Structure 1
Amino acid sequence: MNELTRQSRKRSDEVLVEHAAAHGEFEVRELTWELSAAEYEALLERFEDEAAGGAGVWVTRGDAVLLVRHAGETAWSDPGGKREPGESFREAACREVREESGVDIEVEGVLETHVVTHVTAGRPPLVSPIVVFEGTYVGGDPTPREDDRVAEVRWFAERPESLLYDALASFPMPEGDG
């Protein structure tokens, strides 16, 4: 195993241990994503800045879940995105939800973590975690972000048919008082 691959795997494993200690058990999904050379270089930079990985949040309010639809997509997903240097996964989750949807949340725990092996021809694989938190709505008006990256933000009482990634189909739909 290449040293970069070993280091990135070690950091991902440390994230799993840290979040399990703080939040208890959660599902871990191992995924492989193919990256272009440019995407790989951007990820390598983020890895070197200790900002690899990202966070998403399954945000609930009563009996509904908050989902976003990105510009150019027809499918819905949980709000989330990449970490910034010096930012924890929890901080990234809260910031990304606010940026993408206009709402504030309270993080309740970890729903699951995706350990993603990024592969590019001729380069060593890099591993990074994406932590998907459970969160509850605190306030704010769901509004797409100003830079047009998010086209729509909505509350769903029933899971939409078109989901951006498979794991969303297994996330628990809330039951509440509306």
Structure 2
Amino acid sequence: MTAVDNLWYLADEADQRAERTYHRLASDHENYVEYERTRSVSRSRFRTVADRIRENGLPYGAHTLVYRESGALLLVRHEGVDMWVVPGGEVHADESLREGARRELREEAGIDAAYEGLGVLARVNFRSDGHHAWGVLPVFAARAESTDLEVRDPDGEISDARWFRDLPEDTRDRAELLTWRERAL
């Protein structure tokens, strides 16, 4: 097989896994915000992302959209993308998606939350050199059980965690987070 054939095969396997993950999440939850993004990436980045998706359907792991009764949302500063994002990341093989999101929340913000369901379900499309694959970005909704934040990120990617009533302009997926807050709170 040539390298092109191998990449096509990897992308096909990734798509199949993403499809299963997406349908499981969609059938288990309701009233979530849904959106789609497309990213053009290098060939090596495409391979990395497709490998991740093949594992569990997720290119970026699972995340948590944490809110306080006041309507403030928790965001963390991710230095790798130089933006405010919802806490989250890689899901380990022995974890459910929600367990992975909860662990990442503790690492990145030092708090726990009462999980209520799925807040956002995104489809992320990746393109490179004529190849295409897609993955699922699940963002669980949760009510904060504590509000004192402490970053304990073992990866060193998260530099700050804060509560925001007014989301900063440099918030990843800002419009979708605001749509969720309008619907849910």
The answer as to whether partners of 1:163 and 1:169 remain within 8 angstroms in 2 is no
Query: 1:113-142 deviations in whole A, cap 9, x for unaligned?
Result: 1111112225x3221101011111123731
Partner of 1:142: 149
Q: Supply the distance in 1 between the matched residues of 2:82 and 2:45 (Cα, whole angstroms).
A: 23
Mapped pair 1:19 → 2:28:
no
Which consecutive unaligned segments of at least 5 residues does structure 1 have? Answer: none
Over 3 Å off, 4+ runs: 2-7, 47-53, 72-75
Deviation of 1:70 after TM superposition, in Å, equals: 1.6
- SS at 2:77 equivalent: strand
Q: Supply the distance in 1 between the matched residues of 2:82 and 2:179 (Cα, whole angstroms).
A: 19
Choose the corresponding residue for 2:65, options 58, 75, 79: 58
Which consecutive unaligned segments of at least 5 residues does structure 2 have? Answer: 1-7
**AA matched with 2:150:** T
Partner of 2:104: 96
Question: How many equivalent residue pairs?
Answer: 173
TM-score, normalised to structure 2, is 0.77
Query: What pairs with 1:1-178 in structure 2 (closer than 5 Å)?
Result: 3-50=9-56, 52-53=58-59, 54-63=61-70, 64-71=72-79, 75-121=83-129, 124-139=131-146, 141-147=148-154, 148-166=156-174, 167-172=176-181
**Sequence identity percentage:** 28
Q: Supply the distance in 2 between the matched residues of 1:169 and 1:90 (Cα, whole angstroms).
A: 22
Query: 1:91-114 deviations in whole A, cap 9, x for unaligned?
Result: 221111111111112221111211
Higher helix share: 2
TM-score, normalised to structure 1, is 0.80
